[in-house]
Amino acid sequence: MDLSRRAFLSCLPAGAVLTALPLSAAAAGPRIGSQTNAWPLKPGDFPMFLGVLGELKALGFEGFETSFRNVQALYADPAPARARLERSGLAFFGVHIFLNEYDPRTRVAPMDLVKTTADGAAALGAQRVILSGAGLERDGRVAEDDLAQKVAGLHEAARYCRARGLALAYHNHGPEFAAGGAEINGLIARTDPALVSFLLDGGWAYRAGVDLAAFFTKHRARLAGLHLRDFKGEQQVPLGHGEVDWAPLASAIRESGWDGWVLAEEERADGSKPGAAAAAPARDTLRKLFGR
């Protein structure tokens, strides 16, 4: 990407980087991607990582998302790695920062890690940085000061990302939907749409009792993407092989003309890594839902 194009992208709203692609690269309807966390990746093993991307491409996925841990070893010399990533034929949807502990003030990743990740993600050709965070709900409520500090933290991270030509998306887990969705609704209402978009994890939202189609319809303008996963009882199973009825959400997406990303996320709570054994049926389900 030349400097003029990077400068142009840096001026776009958080969710607009994809739409700035040449028209030949765009397609009607959602784009179909996958998280890489279904595979037993070893941080620093780039050939293994490229092998997973090859599997995703062979399965018909259009793009991928991955943990910052899987690519941070590439930051020191990113140009050769970026060339290899681009040759995979997959769009690099984003680098995800998920931690066991977050900044105690903002409840998201500390800014030094955000900056390091954004610098590396931009150099590797990623479209965005994705932040998970700690939930704010305590005793059935979300404190105003806690919400304000988290919003400020997201804005600070997003401004840094935007200066490097990247979008920023916030990824939920279950706590954001506690207390009637007080936190997720507060984050959507209080964050600047030009800076912060959202990556809705449909699995966590479903477990929280959220009407996914209704949530999507109300907030689709703020959504950069959706994570989809499926369950039988407490057990996660390949997408389309569980109890979740994805048809209403898929219908809402098709009818809206939304062109964000739908990403399969086949991680497992027990730590198992099914890889293509789960990603292949998930891809088949996405093809049936969206015709692509």
Q: What is the pLDDT of residues 256-283, one digit of tens each?
A: 999 999 999 999 988 999 999 999 999 9
Q: What is the pLDDT of residue 11?
A: 45
Q: How many domains are contained in the chain?
A: 1
| Residue showing tokens 């109300």 | 218
Token duo for residue 229? 């996963």
Q: What is the pLDDT of residue 100?
A: 97
Q: How confident is the model at residue 117 (pLDDT cuts 50, 70, 90)?
A: very high
Instruction: Quote the mean pLDDT of the chain.
Output: 92
CA-closest candidate to residue 67, choices 44, 31, 35: 35
Distance CA 17, CA 138 (A): 36
Q: What is the CATH number of the domain that holds 32?
A: 3.20.20.150
Q: How confident is the model at residue 19 (pLDDT cuts 50, 70, 90)?
A: very low
pTM for the whole thing? 0.90
Q: What is the pLDDT of residue 94?
A: 98
Domain boundaries, position 27: 3-290
Amino acid letter for position 249: L
